[in-house]
Amino acid sequence: MAAAPPGVGRAAGRLIGYYLALAGIGLAASVLGPTLPGLAAQTGTTLSGISFLFVARTAGYLSGSWVVGRLYDRLPGHPIMAGAAGLLALGLLLSPLVPWLWVLAVVMMAIGAAEAGIDLGSNTLLVWTYRDRVGPYMNGLHFAFGVGAFLAPLIVERALAWGNGISWAYWIMALLVLPPALWLLRWPSPAAQNAPAAAAPAPVRAGLVALLAACFFFYVGAETGYGAWLFSYARAIGLTEPSTGAFLTSAFWGAITLGRLASIPLAARLRPRTILTLDLLGSLASASLAAFAPGRPWVLWVSAIGTGLCLASFFPTLLSFASRRVALTGRINSLFFIGANLGNMALPWLIGQWFEPVGAWVMPAVVLAGLALDSAAFAALVVLAPAPTPAAGQG
């Protein structure tokens, strides 16, 4: 192993690597939406057909999670993350070169598996590095993801402006995800934190976990559905310039990024239950504005920014809410991530199936339905969940 860079502590060196790695995941996660029309043209398919890529990528993420999660318990983590980053770079490199949908779906499965390796690795290894002091560092980690998600549509816009289609956008991102891997290889991996085996949950606890997984499902589905189809929706309602749609998508992810930054001090002052309630009410109001956007582009801009701000803190706050009521073992936490990624697949795919035959209005309709069901699941949680443990404080 190469010598560590001088002047940087071991924990800080790891932290930089994890943040950069998850920013790379943000790039990869948000590039698909603005490039859907280009990929559809590249493969000679429709938007309905190209939406299958969401299913393929999520299938890769779920299968990758199943395998990689066990590897992190048995092997040094940093080489695993570096290998996942290499696979991600290869997938991004190949994406604009494949002219067949089924081959592109295989590439997207590989990208999903690589994202799982980096996502699980950065979250898990960060906890193993900081243990009980991980709270603010975890908020920063999600902020780093938002930075990458914000930059991806801007890169797409520049590539389109240069007249090179979507190819250079993917190739630039392929180069950007490699440096974090090389950086992490310079640092020793943190020691695994093996929790004792937990007893099987009681029926009430199993129901609680199911409700929490449902909240993650609908939240991630609504967020991804909005972010992934916003570009196509903007063009369908009359914002015909590709650069305008790309900037609009970037505004959505940028609002999420700023919202996550603002949520760090808010989390120290408000209970998770209060933040989650405000998030859901605000996102319902903001997302509903998109339905009234035809002919009023400024309304769609307000919707994109408002929805991003309101959705920003939901995921980490819901994890905090859950940790105060159930023991977050690796097995339980994996159920939450599985629920989140099933939502990441299902709602964007559903929008894609109806977008052309029914109309562009299905995008805000499906997003609002997801947020309404999320609100119902969270209301059931508030009623049925036990009080937070005294050690955890109020929830």
* pLDDT at site 103: 95
Residues 115 and 261 in one domain: no
Give the chain's radius of gyration (CA, Å). 20
DSSP state of 240: -
* The model's pTM: 0.71
Where the chain has pLDDT below 70, the residues are 1-8, 131-136, 164, 193-204, 239-243, 293-295, 323, 327-331, 333, 386-395
In terms of DSSP H, where are the helices of 7-76?
10-43, 47-50, 52-74
Please provide the DSSP assignment of 274-299 as one string. Answer: HHHHHHHHHHHHHHHGGGG-TT-HHH
Domain boundary, last residue among 135, 164, 190:
190
Q: What are the pLDDT digits (tens) for 250-263?
A: 889 889 888 888 88
| Residue bearing tokens 């770079």 | 89
> Is residue 147 domain-shared with residue 212, that is, in the same domain?
no
> Does the CA dihedral 38-42-48-53 come out positive or negative?
negative
User: What per-residue confidence (pLDDT) applies to 387?
Assistant: 65
Are residues 173 and 66 part of one domain? yes
What pLDDT, on the 0 to 100 scale, is given for residue 331?
63
Say which DSSP state 75 is in.
S
From 150, 169, 190, give the residue that closes a domain: 190
3-state secondary structure of 198: coil
The per-residue pLDDT for 195 is 46
**For position 295, which CATH number holds?**
1.20.1250.20
Domain stops at, among 190, 222, 252? 190
**36 is in which domain, residue-wise?**
11-190
The predicted-structure confidence for 140-175, as pLDDT tens digits, reads as follows 888 888 888 888 888 888 888 777 678 888 999 999
E strand or H helix that includes residue 264: helix 242-267
Q: Is residue 97 part of a domain?
A: yes
- Asked if the structure places residue 362 within a domain, the reply is yes
Please state the domain count of the chain. Answer: 2
